[in-house]
A = this chain, B = another copy of it.
Amino acid sequence: MTVESTAERKPRRTGGNQRASAKKAAPAAKKAAPAKKAAGTKKAAAGKTAPAAQPETDLVQLLTPEGKRVERPEYEQYVEDITPEELRGLYRDMLLTRRFDAEATSLQRQGELGLWASLLGQEAAQIGSGRATREDDYVFPTYREHGVAWCRGVDPTNLLGMFRGVNNGGWDPNSNNFHLYTIVIGSQALHATGYAMGVAKDGADSAVVAYFGDGASSQGDVAEAFTFSAVYNAPVVFFCQNNQWAISEPTEKQTRVPLYQRAQGYGFPGVRVDGNDVLACLAVTRWALERARRGEGPTLVEAFTYRMGAHTTSDDPTRYRHDDERQSWEAKDPIARLRAYLESEKYADEAFFAELEEESETLGKRVREVVRSMPDPDHLAIFENVYADGHALVDEERAQFAAYQASFADTGAEGEGK
């Protein structure tokens, strides 16, 4: 199978069936974990600043770090008919995403990209949630959702344009219902909410997913998105990847209680899922998406995970965090975990892993080639698409610019000196 066809694969292929007509009852909120956890605030109410990190029993987990299945009936049902092939698909998605990410990181080191924001460690959160989406759903990412982009069928090399500096967003959001990367923290939560309001107006049963980070949870825009989505009962899932860090700031700088609890106060459920457990992320996101489709409004999913690498290639995490933290998270690696399960259940054999290794090499090679041959944009691109209907000043400046540049062509000089 070529990499190309992977990218074009429909989301539902590895992610399981559509569940437009929810055949199983959703876990009633009364039984669901988030509602029970309300007690968690009590600690803070008594004056103590509860740690943002709660014991892992808070987590919805279906697969332990050792690769053992866990009983969680209320979410289990969302993945109970998953086939070995689908499981291998999830594994493949995570592995190839990680490979792509590593390739991008090294392309940055080689000077082919100006910057890269690695998703290392967050593959399960992104593939699990991404594969839960349906083709007609719409996704609003941050700048780190390379795995979700993969699930949506966006050609991964398209993600590199903005990091190389040839554009500010290199794909058509409507081709894969995957919006452009948003750098200004939290803004997209409102776009997702508005889009979801539009879906509801259209009477469609699609849903929308807004991705954001633990740091973003502090932005007013995210709070306003909670308010609007609750008031209009918009079919949106807020998928917060709590990777424990916002650049150098740990989650305690953003909140004194677990982030999933934020949702309660706005009148919709929040749940914390093991963000390194792809099965749990798939199940919980499916649950949340089905709530949305059924007209039950927004949900907040907090995927508890870890940013294994630097914030971006410009960042030096040794300045602010200890290596042992990272090491403790290595034991929870999302890919190793699924591999252990696949192997113990004999769902995958050596041939599968070997073939995948080859596929991964092919992907890496292709990414390198495509990036290196990405042309610099035409200079006049500065003036393109500033407006849809044109603008007299842009026209005037474009003409002046063109004439100015042409004046160098005459003398053989090559544009601006520096």
Residues on A facing B (Cβ under 8 Å): 28-30, 32, 34-35, 38-39, 41-42, 44-47, 49-50, 217-221, 223-224, 227, 230-231, 233, 252-257, 261-270, 291, 294-297
Residues of B near A227 (CB, < 8 A) are 217-218, 254-255
Which partner residue on chain B sits nearest A297 by CB separation? B47
Residues of B near A46 (CB, < 8 A) are 28-30, 296
Are A261 and B262 interface neighbours, CB within 8 A? no
Residues of B near A218 (CB, < 8 A) are 224, 227
Known: A47-B297, A49-B233, A255-B267. 16 other contacts (CB 8 A): A29-B46, A29-B47, A30-B42, A46-B296, A47-B295, A49-B267, A217-B227, A220-B221, A220-B223, A220-B224, A223-B223, A231-B253, A231-B255, A233-B256, A256-B266, A264-B265
A-B contact list, 23 entries, CB within 8 Å: A28-B46, A29-B42, A29-B46, A30-B45, A30-B46, A35-B45, A38-B39, A38-B264, A41-B265, A41-B267, A41-B269, A44-B268, A45-B264, A47-B296, A49-B233, A50-B267, A220-B220, A227-B255, A230-B256, A255-B266, A256-B267, A262-B265, A262-B266
A264 contact from B41, B217, B255, Cβ within 8 A: B41
Q: How many copies does the complex hold?
A: 2
A265 to B32, CA, bound (A): 17
A224 to B186, CA, bound (A): 13
A41 contact from B28, B35, B296, Cβ within 8 A: B35
A199 to B261, CA, bound (A): 29
Residues of B near A294 (CB, < 8 A) are 47
User: Nearest 9 pairs between A and B by C-beta?
Assistant: A220-B220, A29-B45, A223-B223, A38-B38, A47-B296, A265-B265, A257-B267, A44-B267, A262-B265
A175 to B3, CA, bound (A): 71
Which partner residue on chain B sits nearest A259 by CB separation? B265
Which partner residue on chain B sits nearest A295 by CB separation? B47
Residues of B near A295 (CB, < 8 A) are 47
A44 to B34, CA, bound (A): 12
CB proximity of A249 to chain B, nearest CB, Å:
10
A253 to B254, CA, bound (A): 27
Which partner residue on chain B sits nearest A48 by CB separation? B296
Are A266 and B265 interface neighbours, CB within 8 A? yes
Residues of B near A221 (CB, < 8 A) are 220
Are A261 and B265 interface neighbours, CB within 8 A? yes
Are A255 and B268 interface neighbours, CB within 8 A? no
A254 to B50, CA, bound (A): 29
Which partner residue on chain B sits nearest A291 by CB separation? B47
Which partner residue on chain B sits nearest A268 by CB separation? B44
Residues of B near A44 (CB, < 8 A) are 230, 267-269, 297
With most chain B CB atoms within 10 A of its CB, the pick from A44, A46, A227 is A44
CB proximity of A25 to chain B, nearest CB, Å:
12
